[in-house]
Chain A
Amino acid sequence: MSSLSSPLVACTDVSKSYADGDQAIVAIGEVSMEAHAGQVTAVVGPSGSGKTTLLHLIGGVEHADSGSIVAAGVDLGELSSSEQTAFRAQHVSFVFADLNLLPVLSIYENISLGLTLLRLAEPEAHRRAMSALDLVGLADRAHRLPATLSSGERQRVAVARALARESTLVIADEPTAHLDHDLALEITALLRRLAADHGSCVLMATHDRAVADEADQVLRLEDGRRTH
């Protein structure tokens, strides 16, 4: 399903700095990388190495200061704020360590909410949501609130949302940060399945070596620069 000859994400000499008082802090410095559909790419590095910034740039959350990012055939540097929003709605699913679900909605509604952006017909949206929940083993708890689930189950719901949306690009920022080893590997396996079965390009920031070892490609960052 993947096409190694044409990367889904291509970053070339991407840099990003943030102002801290009078100083400019370099979060990402001239990073180049490629990621392909159907693969999981792990971005590893110590805290503050720029993992999250790189994922946010690729996910269309903000613009790079320099360099170019092309994702899903879209040059992100050319997008306005509203076009970035549309890009995220169309192509990207995020999986965070904590902030994944709206607590007032059931897990089924959380997944359906993500589907409203795709303007699917109601039956199709229902089918996709239930199918995704089934895949992550939570179909029987579709109408429970997130607060009644364990951390691992909530992460599975977040992955299910990405599955249901059939997103081209899945940005997972420390998705296993608060999980024990077994659960972390379980979520990683789900992300691998997402890539393999749906052809999604999964970019996953992690500081867990065991999780990174499950990825097809590992990108190491230190002080905002690529070391591997």
Chain B
Amino acid sequence: MTRLAVRFLKANRQRNAVLGVAIAVAVFGAILLESVGRNIVDQLAANAQQRYGTAQITLPGGAAETLPGATGILAGGEGWITEEQARRISDILQIESVGVSPRVQSDAILVSDGQFSTVRILSSAGTEVTGGGTEVTGRTSVPAGYQSLLIGYAPATPDDDTASGFVDLGGDGGSWVQDRDVRDLVWINGDELMHALRGIGVAPENAVGNVLLIGPAGDHDSPDDRSPAVIAYNAAEILSAEFPEAVVRSRQDLAGRTLEMSAGNVTLLLSLVLILPAIAAIIGNVLVTAESRSDELILLRTMGFDTPTIRALIVREVFMVAAGATFIALVSAGIVAAAVPNLAIAPKSLVRFSVIGGFIPPGLSFLTARRLLSRGIHERLAEFRR
């Protein structure tokens, strides 16, 4: 039957050529688009790395998670990093020339003109509010009653439910500023926030924050050949002996993952939109191919070929076209990748789209053939006679 499939392949060469081109374009386009998309994501991640040039340390109970869906309400008790812990960590990490800066990080609700929105807060060091990398500084001047920042907190002691609530940093409260680029990030004055938290008993007197930002010691604007991810990794290694409960993450890694998730979806959408015509061509061609061959199918059936054999014949032909076209697409993509600088194609992408290109069209032909073969021979012969 393979020989027969090859004969069909040759005899229907024009139709199969169209199908092959459509498959090759789809696979080639998908591979390249995903590669380009990945480059975009990498670029975004690199930007994030520049922007968030620090790593962070949290201790159990701290509100450090910044990924979507995380609950970052300020925790009391063990969640706080004390002055002594911060100093010890700082001393330990000096060996790596890493500076340590205590901060508060949490989720909050921003009330503005009667509208509520959830935001993340990150305290700035000292008395000035500075956005990480932004130039926005100073106290925001907002009329009382129009804008308020509510920072949720958990009880200072585990059994004290009544103590949970919100710290209202309204008109008379602290200073904050929304990040210029990341709209759901609010920078807040660290001293004022800690003062407010101590005042209502959420944070102990000796607490300095619930996260420690770590980065190259000294001038933070100077370039450092160590990425924060490397610093975080080294710091985690060093701290694990002294503080086994400590969690060290690079913040740009967290931000990068968030960006990657959103940018990855955009890339996928882009790929689908751009290769949609090719996919439509494939589907249309496979359907037309199978439909137009109903005469052949009915003849084979009357001769006594069973339906699995006939189905396999059609699928085999489409598979040969799909496999050839996918191979050409892979080679073409390889050539383009070699010719274009900084266009790296992930092996996973090659495998994924090879499988899609090589098996989806035959799968479609299988379904179409099954539908065609499900009809009775007599009816098909009667149609033919008409």
Contacts and interface: CB of A to CB of B under 8 A. Distances in A.
Interface in A83-116: 85-90, 92-94, 96-105, 109, 113-114
Contacts of B382: 52
Given A103-B11, A104-B12, A109-B7, A89 B303 contact: yes
A94 B299 CA distance: 9
B16 to A, nearest CB: 12
11 contacts: A56-B377, A62-B376, A85-B304, A85-B307, A88-B303, A90-B304, A103-B11, A105-B7, A113-B303, A114-B303, A117-B303
Given A82-B306, A102-B299, A56 B381 contact: yes
The dominant DSSP class at the B interface is helix
Contacts of B243: none
B381 A104 contact: no
A24 B40 CA distance: 66
Contacts of B299: 99-102
A92 B296 contact: no
A61 interface: yes
Contacts of A109: 7
A104 B304 CA distance: 19
A98 B385 CA distance: 9
Interface in B4-29: 4, 7-8, 10-12
A92 B305 CA distance: 12
A86 B378 contact: no
A96 B10 CA distance: 26
Interface in A36-66: 52-53, 56, 59, 61-62
A220 B377 CA distance: 24
Contacts of B384: 98-99
Given A52-B385, A56-B381, A62-B377, A94 B11 contact: no
Contacts of B295: 99
Nearest to B10: A104
A61 B305 contact: no
A100 B11 CA distance: 17
B304 A56 contact: no
Tell me which of A82, A89, A101, A102 has the highest count of chain B C-beta atoms within 10 A of its own C-beta.
Answer: A102
B169 to A, nearest CB: 77
Given A99-B295, A109-B7, A113-B4, A85 B301 contact: yes
Given A102-B299, A104-B8, A109-B7, A61 B381 contact: yes
> Interface centre among A52, A92, A104, by most B CB within 10 Å?
A104
A104 B302 contact: no
Nearest to A87: B304
Contacts of A52: 381-382, 385
A94 B376 CA distance: 16
Given A96-B381, A99-B298, A104-B7, 20 more contacts: A52-B381, A52-B382, A52-B385, A85-B304, A85-B305, A85-B306, A86-B304, A86-B306, A87-B304, A88-B302, A88-B304, A89-B304, A98-B384, A99-B384, A102-B296, A104-B10, A104-B11, A113-B4, A113-B303, A117-B305
A101 B300 CA distance: 10
B303 A61 contact: no
Given A99-B299, A105-B7, A89 B305 contact: yes
Contacts of B12: 104
A126 to B, nearest CB: 14
Nearest to B298: A99
Nearest to B377: A61
A94 B302 contact: yes
B150 to A, nearest CB: 70
Nearest to B4: A113
A129 B138 CA distance: 97
Interface string A63-91: 00000000000000000001001111110
Interface in B280-337: 295-296, 298-307
Contacts of B10: 104
B7 A117 contact: no
Nearest to A90: B304
A102 B301 CA distance: 12
Nearest to A89: B304
A174 to B, nearest CB: 9
A117 B307 CA distance: 13
A76 to B, nearest CB: 14
A90 to B, nearest CB: 7
A62 B376 CA distance: 8
A61 B4 CA distance: 24
